Structure 1
Amino acid sequence: MEVPLPPAWKPLNIERYDGTTDLDEHIVAFITQINLYTNDDAIICRVFPTSLKGAALSWYTQLPPRSVDNFNTLMRLFSAQYATSRPHHITSAALSNLRQQDDESLRHFMERFANVSIKIRNLNPEVALHSMLMALKPGPFVDSLCRHQPTSMDEL
């Protein structure tokens, strides 16, 4: 905390973390912003509490003196404290539960499908394509897809 900040230091432009949202997202946002200005570990540790508010800031202020010797230690302690704030990540199995409803337009279903698929980490494009084809309601569009099966989501 005794390391001086650079002379032209400006506060980071990120939303302050209160302990209730995705901690990994906050860490990535913080590191991305701070690395624009410095990679000095001591400065990074000194600036980190300015990215906190509420319960998270209270947690930080209650850390035992000299318990943080570098940024990795701080991130390990922070991650352990707020591990339950990580969102539940969905898998490609969630796509198998999607079905286009009888009264649902293709456009609306494609939007709903896209909203689920973008939340799936490392989604295999072939799995996405297969899931989409299986989820569509029977009709002329699906019949045309059976005759000329697309090889990618872009082609679909």
Structure 2
Amino acid sequence: MTFYANDDVLIYKIFTTTLQGEAQDWFHSLPPRSIQNLSKLSLVFTKEYSSYRSIKKKSNHLFSMKKNQKESLCTYVKRFKAEKAKIVGCDDNIACSTFQKGLLADHLFFGELIVGENLSLENSYALAEKHSLWDEEKLSQKSP
């Protein structure tokens, strides 16, 4: 390979064999003779796929989090924690507020959170866990 290191055609052919899936489809969709050399290929490829890097999320992303009506409280908490974990340096006050606002107003737990003054996010999680266990107990008592 070192012997052919300056052979653009060989490197070009080897590069194309490493592509798979969507990247391979993209390569085959390029117009014929649109790539004149390896540096052009490198530029076009980088331009196409550099936009696929992960986008850093900010704390305000959590405002879109809502508990679905049929979703258990436990599942909502897990989903919320997973989204919060994706945010570097997430402000706990914003997270706590959005966690509360994401709950359905008719849920008993929502009332407890609103009444609880200055609850931290961790305390809200703990209260949610306690409530989830209580909900599960109620469901298990109803089923035969």
Q: State the TM-score, normalized to the length of structure 1.
A: 0.43
Q: Which protein has the larger Cα radius of gyration, Structure 1 or Structure 2?
A: 2
Q: State the TM-score, normalized to the length of structure 2.
A: 0.46
More helix by share: 2
